[in-house]
Structure 1
């Protein structure tokens, strides 16, 4: 399993450098170069918060335009060029709602409590950092970034408090990693480091470091267990595949044996049928010969028997006739002598 990547700083897009080399006065946006890893919660949160910031910036711009008018009715007569009449009416209703006005008043009070105010206006620390990186050098000193954001164009500090923080940081001369420096000097805000964008997490405290170490240990242990389970599962799968192959081979051999046996039985049945048919044919031929012989003999016997019967009958008839003639002759001649 691959380890979770550590936060990295992305170089500005090549087109940003091209724009700066051509004298483009606009500050390059930190979004000119996308280097997002959606498996990191920080990057996902960055995308979501960037969208929320863009939406809030749009509302702030619309509210600034709305405040130029003395009343809601006057503002409704001249919608902002970037909105439709329906959208502008919804915005005017929002800006005059009780909840919005209450929140706006609270925000004013919160801003009045700030001891240090930067001079960058609506431009973010990350945008200022990108400008300095393109104009001066690739390595931006976090202390100088702080000074850039908290001094005006004439180099005058926005407040004594801002100047004092810069002086203390400059005198301490501590050596930190880049993320630790930005976190130490510029401070932490809502879980990210000023000047490095929302995707970079601030350095953890000692407690968090211990917890992180424990979590890393648990994660490594879990990875080892998962790897062991994967190896065992792969071994089981290989064993199962081997057994399945053996079963398929046995089944194939059994099917071949069945086919051979069925073929043998079929051939035996065919041979037996042929023998029975031959035997029946021989018997039939013999029976036919006997019958024919019997008929021949009968045919030979019948004429002889008939001939004998005829001779006997004729002999009997002749004998009877001879007797009758003898009697008549005797009666004729014998009677005259008397």
Structure 2
């Protein structure tokens, strides 16, 4: 098979076309004064200025998904996502290649990811440390409450013993009958 035929087959297997021509997405992005957000760049690179419409219906759908994801990630309680993560989430994953960027992962991205992971590990370790401290504090509080409970049980036992002695004295003096003593002790105990 000739190289041109291979290129035709490869080009026809693409899920959608773009409007960047022969320039790579990375080269197109680098010509901008400021690197655009991935969602905006996706629209720019898949929109026909002549037709004032999407190059393909699939591009419109994917852009809608990207916009929804960007909106969700901008909510205060949402988990933030990088532009690369958005690309993978909506456009899919391909080994060594970021769809929509047209370039493979760069070493600086690996360093950035490592740094981000390192920062995340530090944050998780700090959180683990604070949780351990909280656990220790709660354990100490639990032990203190158990000690107080034991003291209260001893006090109740001592009060019951005093009550029994008092009832014995009242029985001996005839101020209390044995029937009344039994009723009161069952009511109180």
TM-score, length-normalised on structure 2?
0.43
TM-score, length-normalised on structure 1?
0.26
Larger-Rg structure: 1
